[in-house]
Structure 1
Amino acid sequence: MGKGMKNWMIMLLFVALGKGYAQNKAVETSGDILMLAIPVSALATTLFYEEDNKGTWQFVKVYGTSFVVTQSLKRIIAKDRPEHNGTNAFPSGHSSNAFSGAAFIQRRYGWKVGLPAYALAAYTGWTRIDARKHDGWDVLGGAVIGIGSAYLFATPHEKKTQMDLTFSKTKEGCVVGFIYTF
């Protein structure tokens, strides 16, 4: 088994056993952070690593469409949240945010950086289910909206970029690295 496969297995094991490594609130907070970090990372790549504004405008369309569709459906459907007071559960906004960023990264820059982004987006959706704020349908709905928006508006970057996302295991846990080569 290659080193890359071992790193993926360690990351997936960490995600699957996340409850054993952190308290529920910490897991929920990590999902809150990733909900914003993934799309912010997608936008940042267009601002800092592209020579024109094409990617930035594509991201604005992807994220804007995802946001408007998600918020509209929340108010139209008004589905109750599991074990919480309030409505607007469907679709999950955390999931649509995370998946719109992940799908944009994958569409624009390829599967090498897109697959880890999707894994982080899936973890974000899982945190919403774990926190009992959404069920699987809410998360799936958000994912479909986020991915669908990216597939409508994002196109592959014309210039091959030298980006890499790495995962490593240390004695203390896991390390995620992002490398950009000029």
Structure 2
Amino acid sequence: MPRRWLPLLALLLCAGTGPGPAHAADTVETSGDILRVALPLAAWGMTFQRDDQPGRLQFYKAFGATVAGTLMLKTVIDKERPDDDGEDDAFPSGHAATAFSGASFIQRRYGWRMGAPAYAVAGYVGWTRIDADKHDGWDVLAGAALATALTHAFVTPHIGNVDVTAKIAADGWYFGLTARW
């Protein structure tokens, strides 16, 4: 099988996991649960499919920062979920953050042709959280904004066979250019 199909295969494998839902509301919520994992997994898989080791490292940084930032904000900000289940970790939406981390990585690194459908899927994940009464729009928007901002901070666009990197260190700014031919 050509390597370009690996991200799609990973997405399909994730979509086939999980318990069978009891009714339509569970189906929507479960689909969001699956896709919030599938999007970052697809983004990560694309770095292997494209033999993009610098992109993989950037993915790790952006995704790790997104998860850490989301957990930190959930700990610091006590906001109850709309479903009145007594949990006070609504802000920001972790589902939206992880989904948008994957989508924004795909768009930032590989362009809008791949990124636009990924953003549509991430938007659907956010909607599932509102539909399931786990979050309001502000929670979802905050998770999406956090992930997108951190991705833009850590990820550079992949330009064909050229990688451009930048780093800010205590002793100055560093820029790198790598070309393959």
TM-score between the two structures when normalised by the length of structure 2: 0.74
Show the counterpart of 1:31: 32
Segments of 4+ moved more than 2 angstroms = none
What's 2:66 paired with? 66
Give the deviation of 1:53 after TM superposition.
1.4
Q: Does 1:106 align with 2:107?
A: yes
Give me the whole-angstrom Cα distance separating, in 2, the residues matched to 1:145 and 1:84: 25
Q: Take 2:44 and 2:60, find their aligned partners in 1: how far apart are those partners? A: 8
SS of aligned partner of 1:81: coil
Q: Is the 8 A contact 1:74 1:88 kept in 2?
A: yes
Aligned pair count reads 138
TM-fit CA distance, 1:158:
2.7
Unaligned runs of 5+ in 1: 1-21, 161-182
Shift of 1:157: 1.2
Q: Deviations over 1:113-164 (max 9, x none)?
A: 100000000000000000000000000000001101111011111326xxxx
Query: Unmatched 5+ residue regions in structure 2?
Result: 1-22, 162-181
Matched residue, 2:157: 156
Q: Quote the sequence identity (%).
A: 52
How much has 1:78 moved relative to structure 2? Answer: 1.6
Q: Is the 8 A contact 1:92 1:138 kept in 2?
A: yes
CA displacement 1:53-106 (0-9 Å, x = unmatched): 101100001100100100000010021000232110000000000001000000
Q: Does 1:134 align with 2:99?
A: no
Helix, strand or coil at the partner of 1:84: coil
Q: Alignment RMSD, CA only?
A: 1.2
Aligned partners of 1:61, 1:83: CA distance in 2, in Å? 33
Conserved 8 A contact 1:24-1:131: yes
- Structure-to-structure mapping, 1:1-182, within 5 angstroms: 23-50=24-51, 52-85=52-85, 86-159=87-160
Secondary structure at the counterpart of residue 155 of structure 1: coil
